[in-house]
Amino acid sequence: MKKIFSVFVPLMLCMSCSGFLTENPTTSLSSVYDTETALETNVRGIIRSLEGPGMYASDMLENLQSCSGLVHWGSVSGRIGDERWDCVLRCLNYSSMSLNITMYGSFYTAINNCNILIDALPSSPVDTEYKKEIEAEAKLYRAYLYFTLVRLYGDVPLSLGGISQASSYKALPRAPYCEVYAQVLKDLETAFENMRSPERVAAVTGTQGRPNRWAARAVQAVVYLQIASILSVPQDENFYDPSKPGRIPDFSKYGIMDASDAYDKAYKAAKDVIDNGPYKLAWNYADLFKWTRSYTDHYGKDCWNLDERILVIQSTGHNSGNVTAMRTLPQYPEGSSVKAGTSISRHSNIRPTRFFFQQWCRMTGGVKGEAGSARENMYIGSPDPRLDLSLFHTSYKRSSDGKTVSVYPASGTIEQVNMGGSMPFYRKYWSPTYSGIPDVADLYLLRFSEMYYVAAEAAARLGRSDEAYDLIDKVHERARRSDPSGVPSSQPAWNKGQFASADEFVTALIWDKLFEFCGEDHEFFEVRRLGAKWFSDQVIQPVNAFLSEMDQWTYRDTYYGGSFQFETDYQKLRASLLCEFPKDELALNPAMTPADKNDFSWE
């Protein structure tokens, strides 16, 4: 049986497995919650809703990553003048943007599915301990959904009602963001205390595809790190406003009085997962993205059985065309064959920018083109194996005249530049042969390696610099294993003391994190986590400087049009840290006040 530690495994709604999975879903309204099988069916219903329109695997992936300044959105030249593309160029989701409206509503639909089940459990005749497990898993999903929402919108309606309040969020006022974080932490505490162990998951479900209690601890670590970032630079966040109630961060309810407290909790949670959890780093980086049962790694695992997985998006359907994004490998029953062609249909809409490629090479000992060549001042590759394993280059022809243009240099050696003009895709989502034909692939939302990044950043902020270097070297050691033989490459590697301060270490760590998780839905959140000044200093201004140097290059005109520059006004950039609230919610929710309609410095 395909074994992964995954939050989102929608196929479990329809697949045939052992135990309760062999039974037909309960359909009688009188017994929807009356048996263990019925409760499991309801959990799978929650999971199914998590892949809905605008959720993690579709519009959100494409749109939010593009708003980071590090990813291109599809056929960009055709979007100049399009409001959707204008949003991306301003690093902001507009109130009227359809993708924003869809995303917001879909999140609350999934949250309500969690609430309905939680609300129904007290009256269910099922064994109390079994119901506690079900409630805990539902609260993990709810916590992760609200954690995403609060990072997207700041203050959001906090709907905890059940069946009688199926659309309750549409009539609720926005709750202060600190209250939302408090609920997220409360749900995660319950989840970690009462969710199933890995062994219990396997015993009850006949598979290990559903998350175990350690997934809750891992999410806790990420939440604590986010809170620590807010407390480090509160005035740099969009939602900070001393003149309004609830806008000065206060997390004292959870014993967090300052940033140091939050970093300490993030460190302890991440270390707990590292030291005591069931996860393990893949043997080398390439093992994470082979996408074939014919390949097994150093530990005898295929891509869908790796112990590095914590939360993963999968999908059920065999999608035709480009209708729905992120169509991933179903969790087939034991012995069934993998069906190709069910992968990410929007693979072409999430492409790294040339700046991101150059930044990656620059920060990892990259090499430039030959002196005297057109690429003399351009990086053409890096010894970091993750770059070559992450990006796939294909020839590109300009749509206006069909002429082949030099958009990106090829990654790797100088000789490889002779491939000609190229436009990278994320190789992670393509077939093992990188033949240009999308194949089966999953989207990682949370991998075990992120725990090392969380622990390393927290350790650096807490003054434990040597330990911070040791922690990140665990990830780099894995990255240096560039082939199954485990022979290390020279990069990446950090020497203790090479960064003069914790700030320098953390900035380098965040970039390295972006390299490690490129294309895995981290970009939007990571570049905004430390506030507007960091976003401006580390992304926006360097991108603008990079574009200013490229007047003679086809790339700039093809992707941005003319002399485009990203917004540098501090207040507008600060506003872009959050998505604007969807216009439908502002117009139709009677609990929304006039202040809500002109909030967070949007206008």
Helix (H) or strand (E) holding 189, with range, is helix 177-194
- State the pLDDT at residue 369: 75
> Is the confidence at residue 5, as pLDDT, over 70?
no
Task: Please say whether the dihedral angle defined by the alpha carbons of residues 458, 220, 209 and 15, taken in this order, is positive or negative.
Answer: negative
- State the pLDDT at residue 218: 98
> Is the confidence at residue 538, as pLDDT, over 70?
yes
Helix (H) or strand (E) holding 312, with range, is strand 309-313
Closest CA to 449 of 263, 211, 285: 285
Q: Under a CB-based contact definition with an 8 Å cutoff, are residues 508 and 363 in contact?
A: yes
Q: For the chain, what percent of residues have pLDDT higher than 70?
A: 72
pTM given for the model: 0.87
Peptide bond into 492 cis (omega under 30): yes
Cα separations in angstroms, 34 against 27, 126, 233, 316: 11, 6, 49, 27
The single residue listed with the structure tokens 């216009």 is 583
Q: Under a CB-based contact definition with an 8 Å cutoff, are residues 160 and 182 in contact?
A: no
Dump the DSSP string for 83-129: HHHHHHHTT---TT-HHHHHHHHHHHHHHHHHHHHHHHGGG--S-HH
Closest CA to 196 of 59, 72, 69, 39: 39
Model pLDDT for residues 153-164, shown as the tens digit of each residue: 999 999 998 655
- State the pLDDT at residue 15: 32
Nearest-5° Cα angle at 67, 583 to 82: 65
Q: Under a CB-based contact definition with an 8 Å cutoff, are residues 13 and 44 in contact?
A: yes
Most trustworthy range by pLDDT among 30-39, 237-246, 505-514: 505-514
pLDDT band at 208 (very low <50, low <70, confident <90, very high): low
Length of the chain: 603
Alpha helices in 303-416 (DSSP H): 354-363, 385-390
Over residues 26-51, the mean pLDDT reads 78
Cα separations in angstroms, 64 against 54, 237, 312, 544: 11, 18, 18, 20
Task: Tell me the angle at which helices 98-120 and 128-153 cross, rounded to the nearest 10 degrees.
Answer: 160
DSSP state of 425: E
> Is the confidence at residue 348, as pLDDT, over 60?
no
Strand partners, 352: 71
The single residue listed with the structure tokens 């002196």 is 371
pLDDT band at 81 (very low <50, low <70, confident <90, very high): low
Q: Using CA atoms, how far apart are residues 25 and 13, in angstroms rounded to an integer?
A: 9
Q: Using CA atoms, how far apart are residues 221 and 269, in angstroms rounded to an integer?
A: 5
pLDDT band at 290 (very low <50, low <70, confident <90, very high): confident
Q: Using CA atoms, how far apart are residues 214 and 192, in angstroms rounded to an integer?
A: 7
Model pLDDT for residues 252-289, shown as the tens digit of each residue: 988 899 999 999 999 999 999 999 999 999 988 888 88
pLDDT band at 168 (very low <50, low <70, confident <90, very high): low
- State the pLDDT at residue 486: 54
- State the pLDDT at residue 440: 62
Closest CA to 239 of 467, 579, 582, 594: 579
DSSP state of 537: I
First to last CA, the chain: 53
The single residue listed with the structure tokens 């240099």 is 409
Q: Using CA atoms, how far apart are residues 385 and 405, in angstroms rounded to an integer?
A: 26
Nearest-5° Cα angle at 330, 328 to 336: 135
Cα separations in angstroms, 376 against 304, 349, 393, 409: 42, 29, 20, 11
Over residues 75-81, the mean pLDDT reads 55
Q: Under a CB-based contact definition with an 8 Å cutoff, are residues 573 and 532 in contact?
A: yes
Dump the DSSP string for 260-306: HHHHHHHHHHHHHHHHHSS----SSGGGGG---TT---TTS--GGG-
pLDDT band at 316 (very low <50, low <70, confident <90, very high): very low
Over residues 29-41, the mean pLDDT reads 83
- State the pLDDT at residue 172: 87
Distance of CA 579 to the CA centre of its chain: 16
Q: What share of the chain is helix, strand, coil (3-state, %, to 5)?
A: 50, 5, 45
Q: Is 570 helix (H, G, I), strand (E, B) or coil?
A: helix
User: Which distant-in-sequence residues (6+ apart) come within 8 Å of 39 by Cβ?
Assistant: 33, 117, 121, 124, 126, 130, 131, 134
Task: Please say whether the dihedral angle defined by the alpha carbons of residues 42, 44, 50 and 52, taken in this order, is positive or negative.
Answer: negative
pLDDT band at 497 (very low <50, low <70, confident <90, very high): very high
pLDDT band at 242 (very low <50, low <70, confident <90, very high): confident
Lowest mean pLDDT among 339-348, 356-365, 397-406: 339-348
Task: Tell me the angle at which helices 449-461 and 465-480 cross, rounded to the nearest 10 degrees.
Answer: 160
Q: What is the 3-state secondary structure (H, E, C) of 432-447?
A: CCCCCCECCCCEEEEE
> Is the confidence at residue 202, as pLDDT, over 70?
yes
Over residues 378-388, the mean pLDDT reads 82
Task: Tell me the angle at which helices 59-66 and 98-120 cross, rounded to the nearest 10 degrees.
Answer: 130
Q: Using CA atoms, how far apart are residues 56 and 66, in angstroms rounded to an integer?
A: 14
